[in-house]
Amino acid sequence: MRSELIVAAKEFRDHLTSKRFILIFAVLMLVCIYSMVNGMGDYQKMLDQYKKSAAENPQQPWYQEQVAMYQKMIAEAESRGAPQEEIDSLKYQLEQFTNPPMPSVLFVFQNLNQYFALIGMVLAVSMGFDLISREKEEGSLKSLLSHPVYRDSIINGKTLGAFGVLGIVLGATFLITMAIMLIYGVIPQMNDLMAIAVYFVMALLYCLVFFALAMMTSTLAKSSSMSVMYVLGLVIFMVVLSMFSYNITQLILGPPPEYPGGPILYAEPIAIEADTKVAASTAEISSSDPDVTIDRGDVSILPAPLPNDEYDEYYKEWQQYYERQSMIMQAIDAISPMSNFQNHIAPAIFNQGYMIYRSALMVKPYYPHQVTLWESIASVWVNILVLLIETLIAFAVAYVKFLRVDVR
């Protein structure tokens, strides 16, 4: 048997019999059961509301008016020779309105994701922060290296052992979620089942990032206590960086473009001329005229109108600014594995509206359509790539450092 597999088998057994691992794993299972039971209860309520709405809405006047509006929009689009993509999008929206899809069981996993992002991180860090430093402190590493085994075989075996344990943890979580859904009489469709499977694959990658970071600090630190401090510092830095992504972006880009039409005033409702537009952005409400009486009663809040060409130029600048802001904030969020996984990758898998939101930020016109699972994953391929790069960098640093570590 190869020496890597011998080391991996030993690490596998050590992790499974560790009291620390058993405790965190038990907490993960309890939280998983709790979140799934609560989620299934909410899901059953959503199904009841869906059935009630499907029976009552077609009889309502507003429903019939909305159907007529969609039909008129489709007819107008066809008469003016609109792109087929736009026409298909309108037909899709009409179909979604008249025959809305049933609530997806993936809604249940949104609750689970909130807890897993934290407990999965704790579990992965607990498996790696003393992987090397503990053996240096106990002197077992020196004894191990005295045997005819290469250093790369040791660290590769430890990594394989941890990878196997994390795989079992995610597999057990997957089976428990499936069992709870079957108990409630819910059988996931094939698309939902694929989405759940992809989620747990991404969750495994997410855990590997923190395990790799913890193992890296374990090889760099002289003791396990210092290793804990290092990895906690890294985690806190990543979380804080994501929390202040908006502030950092503001420092990079500066303030957004100002509306050139003057201050927004409280005024009586007025009719806007046909050749002017009103900005959709929010500006500071103030009055530059001391004679203006600001009445906060039954009034409208309107910006000073602009000619169409000036408005279009302002809107283009506003759109470009917020597109750059979104890109920078997403790049900063991607640095933090927790924010990356919890706020970007998981929502893309479970929520198709997230895909629509991201696409709407682009300059190219976006037409709502049926979003597949692979389209959703493709929308966050950069986020997934960042997780892979962070994992590989941390493993590479740990690998190089371990090969050069002095155990005397």
DSSP assignment of 168-192 equals: HHHHHHHHHHHHHHHHTT----HHH
Q: What are phi and psi of 277, to 5 degrees?
A: -135, 160
Main-chain phi, psi angles of 130, to 5 degrees: -120, 20
Closest alpha carbon to 213 in 11, 39, 387, 17: 387
Amino acid present at 111 = N
What is the pLDDT at residue 147? 66
Strand partners, 313: none
pLDDT at residue 23 in the model: 92
Q: Which two tokens stand for residue 16?
A: 């499974």
Q: How far is CA 242 from CA 121, 207, 245, 384, in A?
A: 16, 18, 5, 17
User: Residue 261: its pLDDT value, please?
Assistant: 59
Distances (CA, A) of 348 to 84, 221, 295: 26, 37, 45
Find out whether 245 and 332 touch, Cβ atoms under 8 Å: yes
Q: Give me the pLDDT at residue 47, please.
A: 86
What confidence score (pLDDT) does residue 279 get? 41
- Please tell me the predicted confidence (pLDDT) of residue 281: 37
Torsion (CA) 338, 340, 345, 347 in degrees, nearest 10:
80
Rounded Cα gap, residues 179 and 39, in angstroms: 14
- In this prediction, residue 296 carries a pLDDT of 44
pLDDT score, position 323: 82
Q: What is the pLDDT of residue 265?
A: 46
Each residue's pLDDT, cut to its tens digit, for the chain (408 residues) gives 577 888 888 888 888 888 888 999 999 999 899 988 888 888 888 888 888 888 888 888 888 888 899 888 899 888 888 888 888 888 888 888 888 878 888 888 877 888 888 899 999 998 988 888 887 777 776 676 666 667 788 888 889 999 999 999 999 998 998 899 888 888 888 888 888 899 999 999 999 999 999 999 988 888 888 888 999 999 899 888 888 888 888 888 888 887 665 544 444 444 444 444 444 333 344 444 444 444 444 444 445 555 666 667 777 888 888 888 888 888 888 888 998 998 889 888 887 545 444 544 444 555 666 678 888 888 888 899 999 999 999 999 999 888 887 655
Question: In the prediction, which pLDDT does 244 show?
Answer: 87
CA-CA distance, 28 to 282, in Å (whole number)? 44
Instruction: Note the pLDDT of residue 366.
Output: 58
